Chains A and B, each alone.
Chain A
Amino acid sequence: MTSSSPSPTHERCDILIIGAGPAGIAAALAAAPSGAAITMVDDNPAAGGQIWRDGPGATLPPLARQHREALARHANIRLLCGTRVVGLGERQRADHAPALLLEDADRGWTQHSHRVVLCNGARELLLPFPGWTLPCVTGAGALQALVKAGLPVRGQRIVVAGSGPLLLAAAATAAHAGAQVVRVAEQANWRALAGFATQLPRWPAKAVQALTLLHPQLRAGSHVLEATGGGQVQSVRLRAGRGEETIACERLACGFGLVPNTHLGQLLGCALGGPLSGGLGLQVDAQMRTSVAGVYAAGECTGFGGSERALAQGAIAGHAAAGNTTPVHALQATLRRWEGFAQALQQSFALNESLKTLARPDTLVCRCEDVPHAELAGRTGWIDAKLHTRCGMGACQGRICSAATQHLFGWTPAPPRHLLAPARIATLAAAGDDAPSG
């Protein structure tokens, strides 16, 4: 078929930024004064990432608004929302960054660039427990994201459970939207939380934030055991100290911390490592270079430390990707300060071993292919499980269950292969079109 496609199937830019959260925005703003042609893509409907997610149920902090306004002032930053990286494109020149296959609601194309900055963020660690597949059981950050996007929760009783500061943030967002947060169950014990609290004065803004978020229904040393209900969750059974409690609710929001989104980086060949991710994040040097030439990474995909660390890393990556080699001492100092915070976080919210035993034999672990725990318990690793049970082979491509099985069984997920996400046939056809020379 001769192509007379209305939109080009190959596009070029100088710097391609994947992810428009704090790290991506900071990278774009740092690189923009160089005059480079910058394209920033994000699969969400608007820039901001998770922490600065906009919507009818969101109130953007001033810093988020300032960053978004600054983006709009630069004509050389092209922001493409609702756009997803679905796989690898064919690389045109050896000295360029790998080309990526992109898709939005209407079309697919190959994006070429000199430099790629990966700001893929993190997702929640969602661990299987009986009843976790029931409708209205979500992640904790998930609840926050859905409420910001307009989810009606007024008058609903909500249990928030899992681990980390995100629980309190999610509870606050839900309560602000009119929900009745009946329990916040943190699996870490009071001693760990107190230890974290005593360190907070090193980061005064975080100390203030913690005080504003503290919830009267917070319980430490408490974790979910089971969700039950017909058609949707109706009650939650929790470990409470040495005993148990059962709480009636309309929603359960349960997240056990974060997992860095490294799929794209790994597809490009980037090495993992880094002390702030338990070795699970993308490895970067002081200039945010990954192990692959032309590919930089910043933010939660390199390890966890919140938006302040992501902003510093993003800015360093943006400067470096734009070829600005002037040392950025101030940014490096800021980064070190927030890496200290990240360290304190991770020590305090280490996951309890008993969370590995929540699933029963019939509890589904892979929700795409409905693979129960019993079918996985005897497998030797991720690939063995995939081949014999279809675990991780569904629509999410193992995003949820690979992190769960890594935690439960210690399996190392295999690096992803092209394609990264379900894509339309037309997108793949467009990738096959010859690139114009030049």
Chain B
Amino acid sequence: MTAPTVQIHADGTPLQVAPGTSVAAALAQVPPGRTRSSVTGQPRAPLCGMGVCHECRVRIDGRTRLACQTLCTEGMQVHTDTGRPCP
């Protein structure tokens, strides 16, 4: 028997996760699980894991949310690195 999974799309890539998985945990399937670029262009990924540091903010179904406090739902569209400064 296969365990039930939820599928999300992260920057177009389909990811399968167990129900109840956070978006931050799902993104880590593609190491290093990058979520954003800093104001000076450094790659960043989740730091605090509990909604404090805002390093994991990503765009989820059109809204900016914290990946560590958002659970994956079927068909969810996640876009990382949305705050990248204009070139």
**Which chain A residues have a beta carbon within 8 Å of chain B's beta carbons?**
43-45, 50, 54-57, 82, 84, 105, 123-124, 126, 133, 135-139, 141-146, 149-152, 231-232, 250, 367-370, 394-396, 399-400, 422, 424
Contact = CB atoms under 8 A, between A and B. Distances in A.
Interface of B: 17-22, 24-26, 28-29, 31-34, 38-40, 42-55, 57, 63-65, 68-71
Contacts of B26: 150
B25 A142 contact: no
Nearest to B38: A370
Given A145-B68, A370-B38, A123 B19 contact: no
Contacts of B55: 367, 396
B62 to A, nearest CB: 11
A126 B47 contact: yes
Contacts of B63: 105, 424
Contact of B53 (A136, A146, A399): A399
Q: Which 10 A-B pairs have the closest CB atoms?
A: A150-B21, A142-B49, A135-B45, A232-B32, A135-B32, A145-B49, A149-B22, A150-B25, A395-B54, A56-B18
Contacts, number: 130
B45 A232 contact: yes
Given A232-B31, A370-B39, A370-B42, A139 B71 contact: no
A137 B32 CA distance: 10
B54 A368 contact: yes
Contacts of B28: 146, 151-152
A146 B68 CA distance: 7
B26 to A, nearest CB: 7
A149 B47 contact: no
Contacts of A56: 17-21
A396 B36 CA distance: 14
Nearest to A81: B69
Contact of B24 (A44, A84, A123, A149): A149
6 contacts: A55-B22, A55-B25, A136-B45, A142-B46, A142-B49, A394-B54
B48 A123 contact: yes
Given A56-B21, A138-B46, A150-B26, 15 more contacts: A56-B19, A124-B48, A126-B47, A133-B42, A135-B44, A138-B48, A139-B47, A145-B50, A145-B68, A146-B28, A150-B18, A150-B21, A150-B25, A367-B55, A399-B53
Contacts of B34: 135
Contacts of A150: 17-18, 20-22, 25-26
A400 B20 contact: no
Contact of B25 (A44, A126, A151): A151
A44 B49 CA distance: 11
A44 B47 contact: no
A112 B71 CA distance: 28
Contact of B38 (A50, A133, A141): A133
A188 to B, nearest CB: 22
Given A135-B32, A151-B24, A45 B71 contact: yes
A123 B50 contact: yes
A149 B21 contact: yes
Contacts of A396: 52-55
Contacts of B54: 368, 394-396, 422
Max chain B C-beta neighbours (<10 A), residue from A144, A145, A250, A368: A145
Contacts of A146: 22, 24-25, 28, 46, 49, 68
A424 B57 CA distance: 14
Nearest to A153: B28
A367 B32 CA distance: 18
A370 B22 contact: no
A55 B45 contact: no
Contacts of B51: 43-44, 84
Contacts of A399: 52-53
A399 B28 CA distance: 24
B51 to A, nearest CB: 5
B68 A133 contact: no
